Structures are given as C-alpha cells and as structure tokens.
Amino acid sequence: MRTPADCLELARTEDDSTALHRLAQCPYPFVWHALAVNPRTAPETLVELSTAHDSAWNDNRLLCLLAEHPGADLMVLRAVRDAVAAKLTAGERPYAAVLALAARTELATEEVRRLGTLHGASARLRTRLDRHLALRA
C-alpha cells in the first residue's frame, strides 16, 4: 500500500507515462500539482487533471500549473480554458491560470480574451490580460 508521501515522490520522479496516469487517480491535490509540474506527464493525463476538484485554491493552482506545463498541447490548453471559464462564471477567481493561458501562443488571442468578458473577471484581470496578450505581438 502506497502512502501519500510515496505517491508524491513518484509523481515528482516517475518517467513512465502509464504510471503517471495511474497517479492522477490519487485523491491528493499535492500529487496532482506534482504531476502538473513533471515534464514527463503525458497530455492525456494533463487533460484528465483539468477536471480534478478539491478546493478553490488547489483547483486554481492546478489549472495554472497545467497552463504552464511545457508539454501542454492545444487539447490540454483548451481543457484548461474551459475549466477556467466555468470557474469564472461560477464566481471563482482562477486569475493566475487566465494569465498563464494568455502567455501560450498555441491558443488564439480571442480564445483567451473571451475569458476577460466572463462574470467573474475583474477590471484588474482584464487590464492584466490585455497587457499579457499585447506582449504576444
């Protein structure tokens, strides 16, 4: 039987994508965060993690890490965008994830800019989002 510490260590150091995918089933958000940082985590696993739920803070941190992941492809980034949009609409503030998505040129500018028009987007977020998107050009 693996302990939470064992799961965390494996999430940080494992390089087998099948083992990493199995670790995504762990109920521990710190393991999900470690998977989202591990550059060897496959895009399919990252997409699955985009739907993981624990608490607002852990969920928003996870979405930010997924948006920043070097192996995140368009499928992953769109899954994160959709999760962020749902959280903004629900009144949560995944602002770091929005700004991380703005830095990803794989997504069209308008795809990301729409996040600033959602119910939970503050004026400050919209200003910072515009600045981040302007840096792309």
pLDDT, one tens digit per residue, over 20-79 is 999 999 999 999 999 999 999 999 999 999 999 999 999 999 999 999 999 999 999 999
Report d(CA 106, CA 29) in Å as an integer: 27
pTM: 0.95
Residue tagged 């099948």 (tokens): 18
Q: How many CA atoms lie within 13 A of 39 on its CB side?
A: 1
Tokens of 90: 């629900």
Report d(CA 111, CA 67) in Å as an integer: 14
- The yes-or-no verdict on residue 134 having pLDDT over 80 is yes
136 band by pLDDT with thresholds 50, 70 and 90: confident
**The pLDDT value given to residue 46:** 98
**The pLDDT value given to residue 1:** 63
What does residue 84 show for φ and ψ, rounded to 5 degrees?
A: -65, -40
